[in-house]
Amino acid sequence: MHNLIPIESPLFLSAEDLAERPDWSAVFANNNPLALEIGCGIGDFVVDMATHNKECNFIALDFYNKGCIKSCKRAERAELTNVRIVRDEARSFIRRCLLPSSLKAVYINCPDPWPKRYQRKRRLVNQEFISLLESYLKPGAFFTFSTDFDDYGIDLAHLMSRQTGFENMLAPDLWRHDIEDYPRSKYMLKFMAEGKEIYFVQYRRKA
Ligand SMILES: C[S@@+](CC[C@H](N)C(=O)[O-])C[C@H]1O[C@@H](n2cnc3c(N)ncnc32)[C@H](O)[C@@H]1O
């Protein structure tokens, strides 16, 4: 990658620096469970989660360099040691850097909606992605998704309801507009200020 502002933070890992399937317990210097946020943006969500869940290690992933810089600064200001910010593409990172059945939780908040009908095939979260994710979640691990875009939220809610390997944590609802104690991300707050509802979908990989 060229012309990227270098990131000096000790919490930062670039795709190029990461070995194939690194030893995450060595990276974090402990054996705590591992959670992944995909598309961390400015890092507000992961910093809130990591602050309140010190017994868990968080990988915050984004391919946007400026977002990684902001996320690193935010995590450093919060003096967190249980967060690493990784600049990489989600699918390539998961395949190259994680062991199957290694994640305790995955969070995806307000992914790019690709709203026009002809753009929808570019959406990150689809059947292929869910199948990929499933194999990297431990039995009992959580997958939480949020979006302001009703079509994305409802489509994913239906898609998840057909996955035999997952159990709906919001049953009997397929989606909700709030999950108690779930931190608000920058985009969630922006959409809520515009009067939009957030669609939350939450599942657990069956044991
Ligand atoms: C609309 S923003 C939402 C940011 C944040 N989650 C929030 O809710 O405020 C989507 C973020 O996902 C990142 N992103 C989109 N596709 C990605 C991918 N395939 N791999 C890694 N990051 C991705 C973008 O760079 C952007 O920062």
What are the pLDDT digits (tens) for 136-169? 999 999 999 999 999 999 999 999 999 999 999 9
Does the beta carbon of 39 sit less than 6 angstroms from any atom of ligand 1?
yes
DSSP code, position 138: E
Share of the chain above pLDDT 70, in %: 99
Largest interatomic CA distance in the chain: 49
Strand order across the beta sheet in which 166-168 lies: 12-14, 83-87, 57-62, 34-38, 103-109, 137-147, 199-205, 166-168
Q: How much is the average pLDDT of 105-109?
A: 98
Residue nearest to atom 10 of ligand 1 (CA): 111
Q: For the chain, what are the domain ranges?
A: 12-205
Query: Is a pLDDT exceeding 90 seen at residue 3?
Result: no
- Ligand 1: distance of its center to the CA of 108 in Å? 8
This prediction has a pTM of: 0.97
- Tell me the CATH number of domain 12-205, given options 3.90.1150.10, 3.40.50.150, 3.10.20.30, 3.40.47.10: 3.40.50.150
Does the beta carbon of 67 sit less than 6 angstroms from any atom of ligand 1?
yes
Residue nearest to atom 16 of ligand 1 (CA): 39
CA pair distance 171, 205, nearest whole angstrom? 14
Q: Give per-residue pLDDT as tens, 68-104.
A: 999 999 999 999 999 999 999 999 999 999 999 999 9
Does the beta carbon of 114 sit less than 6 angstroms from any atom of ligand 1?
no
Tokens (6 digits) for 72: 């690193």
89 CA: nearest ligand 1 atom: 20
- Which residues are part of the catalytic machinery? 112
